[in-house]
Amino acid sequence: MMHTLKRQSVPAGIVNLADHEQLAQQRLDDNAWAYFGGGAGDEITLQANRTAWDAWRLQPRVLQRVAGGHTRVALLGRTLAHPIMLAPVAFQRLAHVDGEVATAYAAAALGAGMVLSTQASTPLETVADAFLADPGRGALWFQLYLQHDRGFTRALVQRAEAAGYEALVLTVDAPVSGIRDRERRAGFQLPPGIRAVNLDGLAPRPARPLQGGQSALFHDLLHDAPTWEDVQWLQSITRLPVLLKGVLHPEDARQAAAIGVAGLVVSNHGGRTLDTAITTAQALPAVVQAVEGRLPVLVDGGIRRGTDVFKALALGASAVLVGRPAIHGLTNAGAAGVAHVLRLLRDELEATMALMGCATLADVAAVSLPMPPLGIR
């Protein structure tokens, strides 16, 4: 069934992603802004993700032949129009009545890949129908949290396969939720009518009895936290490629490559899980080096400019993902706002490539970035 979108236009005066963020903060209530805008703890990693990209500097080349260039990239057997994808973000109907459907239409129209969250507020089949109908679309992937019920997880994977999703992105950096002070101060709660609809039917996790002095976290909840064996189990039950999202350590990257995962996403969950964790711009080069070209490495976290996208690609990423900027665009103008965010990033990437003397992403990958000054890497 086709979803009729609310028709909106991007407000005048919005010329970059920071403008979108500022307006979105004004439009969202405190409850929704605490969820979308907040991070873990003192939000040190949340802020550092942004400034870490700024620390890498560009050294342009001049008088290069760049006419006829393009932004196409090969990824998991497909050629995409550009290397900008939308990261999984839960409960998008908190930001706009059209939620994930608006995001899907916008991403498809702009040739961007999209990763749908397990905790989407719209059925995964509805989102797939909206996205896959566009012949110029990018890749459609499904982000997965392993559930305590393996039978439910298997059924969810089968639903994603049947709906046309092309890969599974297993989030591995959140065995527990981060300590999110901003959400706690706001008393965050989902309003009526918004829920993780794709988890309907999942029975509550049975609690384990605790002995005196035992921890509810270590002796109960973490028994259901995913391990490397669970990754291999997931690979065994699906025909889709499996990527791991949330890898920051090169040893984890090597182990992932050793068991044959299809790709990695260097991510610290947008600064929402472990505060003071290393930034993604810091972690990316070592992860790329660790896998030695055996699988694609993507990156998210703090990317707000086309120059950030360029730097990520120069540091070895195959593509980037953006999360909060899409939510800001969605808040401000629905599908048109998400499309505007993607258009801004792609236009800025193309301009950066031209100014750096790079006609293709292969040229970008060959660029050597000067090291940031010691202490701000």
Catalytic positions, written as ranges: 269
Q: Using CA atoms, how far apart are residues 357 and 197, in angstroms rounded to an integer?
A: 47
Q: Are residues 332 and 19 in contact, defined by beta-carbon separation less than 8 angstroms?
A: no
Residue from 122, 69, 71, 115 nearest 95 by CA: 122
Length of the chain: 377
Q: Are residues 158 and 240 in contact, defined by beta-carbon separation less than 8 angstroms?
A: no
Residue from 114, 124, 225, 116 nearest 172 by CA: 225
Q: In sequence order, what are the beta bridge partners of 143?
A: 169
185: left (phi over 0), alpha (psi -120 to 50) or beta: alpha
3-state class of 285 per DSSP?
A: helix
Amino acid at 92: Q
Rg (CA), the chain: 20
Amino acid at 40: A
Residue whose pair of structure tokens reads 């401000």 in the numeric block:
332
DSSP string, 212-266: TT--TTTTTGGGGS--HHHHHHHHHH-SS-EEEE---SHHHHHHHHHTT-SEEEE
The whole-angstrom distance between residue 315's C-alpha and the CA centroid of its chain comes to 18
Backbone angles phi, psi at 168, to 5 degrees: -110, 135
Residue from 97, 89, 94 nearest 32 by CA: 94
